[in-house]
Amino acid sequence: MNLSLKIALGSLLIICLINCKHEIKKVDQEDVIEPIKQELPEVAGNYVSDYYQNRNEGYDWIAISVKNIGENTIGISVRSRADKKKPTCTLDTKANKVNDSLFTSAVNGLTVMFTFHKDTLNISTERPEQADGLQYYCSGGGNFIGNYARIDGDLDQTQIDRTIFSRTLELQGIGFLVSSTTIEFGKELQITPYGLEVDNNPITHIIEGTVINAEIEDLNSDGFPELLVYLSSDGSGSYGDVIGYSVNNGKSISAIYFPPVSENDELKKGYMGHDEFSVIETTLAQRFPIYKEGDTNANPTGGIRQIEYQLVDGEASRKFVIKNSTDFPEKN
């Protein structure tokens, strides 16, 4: 084959490759399939068991109320029918986001899984054989594992359990059942200890506002726990308060005094509520936004103030005293 023919064949091959490449590229662009946008479930709402639809015929039912309480956290309230007998199941817990459809919570030492689909919720334990561990929160050997359907609007207020908050906390062999209910003239908080040597009688408080959380910890490192119940006032201010009890040598409990911010001339500057409380090791921390003059209730601009409290022995009972206070600047 002479040189001219080789050059001609080579040129033809190059032209064919270029045309094929352009053609393939053209086909690829024309045949691109737009990805299907998956409709992610909106998890907040009320979900009910099958028999809810037959409640007027006397059937028992369970409802799961889900609220958004953080970017990656939801609040779960398990309630049931309570107009004809004692509630079937009662539980309050927080669940953390695993992905857009799955949230998990630690309940009684078990990992409980809340899986959301469009208009449905499935509740299960991480391992099926662990389901019986949730019987503690239900009567008659039952539990709240299963499937629930979303409903529009509120639950049937004539039948539902009036318990607003319910949690059981235990440490060092001593525990507390903390619950609040709606009563005729307000709200009632009941604290029932167990495991004490002398006095396990329940303690009742008539409260203003709502119980938002409860924690247990040995704050003074004496081998016995303290119980802290966090309250938030109703209304836009959401002013916080703490009801605390300390165990006395494993025999009884006594109240802990918590000093209100409003009684401290320095710390109350810029204070307008919206408190958050949490135990950090053996310290109680209180955080709230700082308001500058002219700020609206919904838009504080002064940063965040954190107060840390230490539990000490007082003359009559234990009390919280301020350990330190820090103001953090507003995030840009």
What is the per-residue DSSP string for 235-252? SSS--EEEEEEEEETTTE
Dihedral sign, Cα of residue 175, residue 231, residue 182, residue 189: positive
* pLDDT (mean) for 250-259: 97
**Which band of pLDDT confidence, cut at 50, 70 and 90, is reported for residue 37?**
very low
Look-up of token digits 């352009």: 22
Q: What is the fold, at CATH topology level, of the domain defined by 45-151?
A: Lipocalin (2.40.128)
Q: How far apart are CA 92 and CA 108, in angstroms?
A: 12
Given the DSSP bridges, would you call strands 163-171 and 146-151 parallel, antiparallel or unpaired? unpaired
The string of pLDDT tens digits covering residues 143-199 is 899 999 999 999 998 998 888 888 889 999 999 999 998 887 889 999 999 999 999
Asked if 176 contacts 191 with a C-beta cutoff of 8 angstroms, the reply is yes
The string of pLDDT tens digits covering residues 197-209 is 999 999 999 998 8
**Alpha helical stretches, state H, the chain:** 3-30
Q: How far apart are CA 51 and CA 44, in angstroms?
A: 21
Domain chopping of the chain, boundaries: 45-151, 163-328
- Say what the pTM is: 0.69
**Which band of pLDDT confidence, cut at 50, 70 and 90, is reported for residue 10?**
low
Candidates 204, 181, 202, 326; CA nearest to 266 is 326
**What integer best gives the mean pLDDT of the chain?**
87
- pLDDT: which is higher, 308 or 136: 308
Q: How far apart are CA 233 and CA 245, in angstroms?
A: 20
